[in-house]
Structure 1
Amino acid sequence: MKYGAIVVLAAASFAGPSKAQWMHQEHGGAFDGNAVQMAIAASASYGLALRCRNSDDLEIIYLTPEATEAGTIEVMNAASPTLLLRVDENEMFELAATLELANDGTVTAISDAPITVPSQVNSATTRVAAALKILGQVFHETEFKVNGSTAATNVLSEKCGLSME
């Protein structure tokens, strides 16, 4: 899983009980000038990130505290998991997800992100909610506060060439 450890470390570095603070991080690019851009939030043991290098590869990464093994991940992926995302009271996104193991053995979901997600997060006033849906059941529902989301998504959008319209 590329860059998963970065997100885990970043989320853990500023997570606290019931708090979330969005921040921007840039990784790599020293040799090719094509750094990975991330807008990251944490809430308790959960992490959420928007990740891109350019406007064509925007992804959502959702980190959970659930520890499991590779064989279990394969079974869960066979069940076609989805990532649920809702910003404030906007329409819910239900996105096809691939589950992976983070370096610490916890479950991480990765989905292609609709191009409107950074703009919604940018203008969010109360929350960004995320969850996993597997076989019709919702797991790991978490809300992230929006402190710092405007600044983090402004930088992400500028560096990845995303529109905030």
Structure 2
Amino acid sequence: MTDIPIIKVYVSLGSNIGDTEDHLNQAVARLEKYEGIEPEKWSETYQTEPQGLKDQPWFTNQVVRFDVDPELWSAEGFLSTLQAVEGQMDRVRDVKNGPRTIDLDIILFGDRVIDSGSYLTVPHPRAQERAFVLLPLADIEPELAFPDGTTISDALQKIDYRTEGKKIYQD
């Protein structure tokens, strides 16, 4: 990477089809092959109750922090690359909140606030409502605050969830 400051990009990964942990690892491995994208911190993996559509396998979720070179990557370009990796891994988008081999969502792109309509919103619009995002995020950056000043612990206090070990239940 260059000498200019990197951007810390937090990506939520999820899978509930096949070898879910392998799918998460494959996605990170595919992303790190791109110049200017370096995985730096990984949360533990969590087993998460499906949101919305309940009649499907539980998800394996994780958050990874990538250090990204801003001279090579815009938020939109990074999202396009995430979607390309999802496609390479046979992600199908036919059922909202349905089963998937891999789901890759940008949670934070540095401290940027982006709303480009239906294509990209950063911070992720539902990140502060999802324990399966907040708990793994707390693993790697417990003091992190969203651009609006909300800390991870503040966000967790506002939602209804429970954990049993590394299992997350949230309706």
How high is the TM-score relative to the length of structure 2?
Answer: 0.28
Q: Whose relative contact order is higher, 1 or 2, with alpha carbons under 8 Å and at least 6 apart?
A: 2
Normalised by the length of structure 1, the TM-score is 0.28
- Structure richer in strand, relative to its length: 1
